[in-house]
Amino acid sequence: MTATIATEAKRAPGPRAGRRGPGLHPWVRFGLRRLGGLLLSFAVLTIVTFLIVPLIPGDPAAVAAGDGASAAQIDRMRQELGLEQPLLIQFVDYFRGIITLDLGTSFISGEEVSHVIFSRFPFTAQIALLAIVLVLVIAVPAGMGVAILTRGGRLPWLDHGFNVVTGFIYAVPQYVMGTLLVVVFAVTLGWFPAAGAATLDSLVLPTAGLMFGPACVIARVVRRETAVVLDKDYVRTARGWRLGAARTHLRYVLPNLITTTLTLSGLILAAQLGGAVVIETVFAWPGLGQGIVNAILQRDYPVIRGIILVLGLLATLIIILVDVVLAVLDPRNLGGGSHDA
């Protein structure tokens, strides 16, 4: 056998602590990556919303003009939608409109689309934000608490009860929940208004309808994650140091939950935008959700495009926000973030 002995143990340059790749500061790389994601998202949304009209089977102008439109009306519609132009020109016009915040005017009401969006947005934001905050404040401690109390098979009744209750509530879709809330609390008991956004207490039922389902999902997720962390060796080390329940759970369990919990919660919260669409229908809440449904039913294409674009951007922004929070809490998350689930 032959082998060459190296006489100087060549010292390879060790990995520079915390740095990967040439030059850039981790926060800069993080920012650039997220910005790239936002731009990509924006590009995709622009293209997709643009394509809504040209992709309509048959004659888009006829569909847009509605049943029973005269030939003249159809032609006028074609002009308005710019459909004679080559596809690329249409897209450039559309894109230019978006950049200059001129999203066109509604076919139905003649209102400017940007105005429609700006006037409806606050309503959606109210119930969505309120629901998100309530969900986190309730679900995270609940999930953690149940996991800690039921660890190792303790309190089996709590374990089963939690599973059954959260599972049951989760099985009720949001629009059913909303409808039932209306039936019970508005129609039968008369405690809250059944529709509209007239008074302050009209906020209660829509927010409740939005939050029950996600609260249960997130509570279950947190419970499962907590159980996983409780099984880890380092929690056993803390128990070996006899630190007591409070200190062990706060310092050794909670910090290791946050990443997974926030990641999954972020996705669920972004899905709330879809929930808002449905809830607004139940409660006739004048937000973006009601706006988009009406627009689709009335084939109000400028409004359709505008609202879908905004909803998509909002979803992306929520995810980016979650990534930022994760990175602030623990700089080790700067590399991956909520996308690397």
Partner 1 sequence: MNITTATGHAPAARGAARPPAASVKGLTVTFGHTEVLHGVDLEIPDGRVVGLVGESGSGKSTLGKTLVGINKPSGGTVRIGTRDLSTVQGAERTAMRREVQYVPQDPYASLSPRRTIGQTLAEALDPHRADPRRHRERIAAALDQVRLEPKSMDKYPHQFSGGQRQRVAIARALILDPKLVIADEITSALDVSVQAEIIRLLQSVRGETDSAMLFISHNLAVVQQVCDDVVVMYRGSIVEAGPVERVYPNPQHGYTRKLLASVPGSPGFSLD
Partner 2 sequence: MMPSPLTRRFWSPTMTAGVLILAALVLTALFAPPLLRADADTLTGDAALGPGPGHWLGTDDFGRDVLARALTATRLTLAMTAGAAGISVFAGTAIGLAIWLSTQRVREAALRLLETAVAYPSLIFALVIAAILEPSPTSAVLAIGISGIPSFARITANLASSVSHSDYVVTARLLGVSPLRIALRHMLPNMAEPLLILSATVFALALVEISALSFIGLGVQSPDYDFGRLLNDSLDSLYTQPLTTVGPSAMIVLTGLSIMLVGDAMAAHADPRGQRRRAVRKPERNQTVAAPAGDTALVRVENLRISLPGGPELVKGVSFGIEPGEVVALVGESGSGKSLTAMCVAGLPSDELDVRADTLRIGDMNLLARPNRSRLAQDVGIIYQDPGSTFNPSLRLGGQLTEVLRTHLKMGRRQARRRMAEALASVEITQPQQRLRQHPHELSGGMRQRAMIAASMATKPKLLIADEPTTALDVTVQAEVLRQFRRIHRHEGTAMLFISHDLAVVEELCDTVLVMRHGQIVERLTAAQLRQREVTHPYTRSLLAAIPALDLAPATVGAGTIFQEGTQ
What residues line the site for partner 1 (CB under 8 A)?
1-7, 9-15, 20-21
**Which of these ranges, 22-30, 88-96, 203-211, 233-241, lies near partner 2 under the rule CB under 8 A?**
233-241
Q: Residue 203 binds which one of partner 1, partner 2, none, with CB within 5 to 8 A depending on kind? A: none
**Long-range residue pairs from 52-58, CB within 8 A, at least 24 positions apart, any chain:** 52/301, 52/304, 52/305, 52/308, 53/81, 53/83, 53/301, 53/305, 54/83, 54/87, 54/90
In the bound state with partner 1, the residue whose beta carbon lies nearer, of 5 and 72, is 5
Q: Which amino acid is at 51?
A: L
Q: Does 49 participate in binding partner 2 (rule CB under 8 A)?
A: yes
- Which range of residues in 73-81, 90-98, 204-212, 296-304 is near partner 2 by CB under 8 A? 296-304
If binding is defined by CB under 8 A, does position 189 make contact with partner 2? no
Residue 187 binds which entry of partner 2, partner 1, none, with Cβ cut-offs from 5 to 8 Å by kind? partner 2
CA 64 to chain centre: 31
Give min distance, CB of 23 to partner 1, in A. Answer: 13
Contacts of 151 (CB under 8 A, 6+ apart): 227, 230
Nearer to partner 2 among residue 72 and residue 156 (C-beta): 156
Interaction pattern, residues 254-283, with partner 2; x per rule: CB under 8 A: -xx----------x--xxxxxx-xx--xx-
CA 173 – CA 161 distance, rounded (Å): 20
In the numeric block, the tokens 């709330």 are attached to: 272
Structure tokens at 100: 């200059």
Contacted by 15, from partner 2, partner 1, none: CB < 5 to 8 Å by type: partner 1
The minimum distance between CB 13 and partner 1, in angstroms, equals 7
Q: Are 310 and 288 in contact (CB under 8 A)?
A: yes
Q: Which is nearer to partner 2, 100 or 153 (CB)?
A: 153
Q: Which stretch binds partner 2 (CB under 8 A): 95-103, 124-132, 163-171, 204-212?
A: 163-171
Nearer to partner 2, 14 or 23 (CB): 14
Give least dist CB 2 to partner 1, A.
4
Give Cβ neighbours of residue 215 (< 8 Å, ≥ 6 apart): 134, 135, 138, 139, 169
Instruction: Characterize 275-307 residue by residue with b for buried, 16 or more Cβ atoms within 10 angstroms of its Cβ, and e for exposed.
Output: bbbbbbbbbebbbbbbbbeebeeebbbbbbbbb
Q: Which stretch, 22-30, 56-64, 132-140, 202-210, contacts partner 2 (CB under 8 A)?
A: 56-64
CB of 339 to partner 2, least distance (A): 5
At a CB cut-off of 8 Å and minimum separation 6, what does 56 contact? Answer: 63, 64
Among 32, 52, 101, 129, binds partner 2 (CB under 8 A): 52
Which pair of tokens denotes residue 177?
Answer: 């929940």
Work out what residue 2 binds among partner 2, partner 1, none; the CB cut-off runs from 5 to 8 Å by kind. partner 1
Binding of partner 2 by 86 (CB under 8 A)? no
Rounded CA separation 312/324 (Å): 19
Query: Is there binding between residue 67 and partner 2 (CB under 8 A)?
Result: no
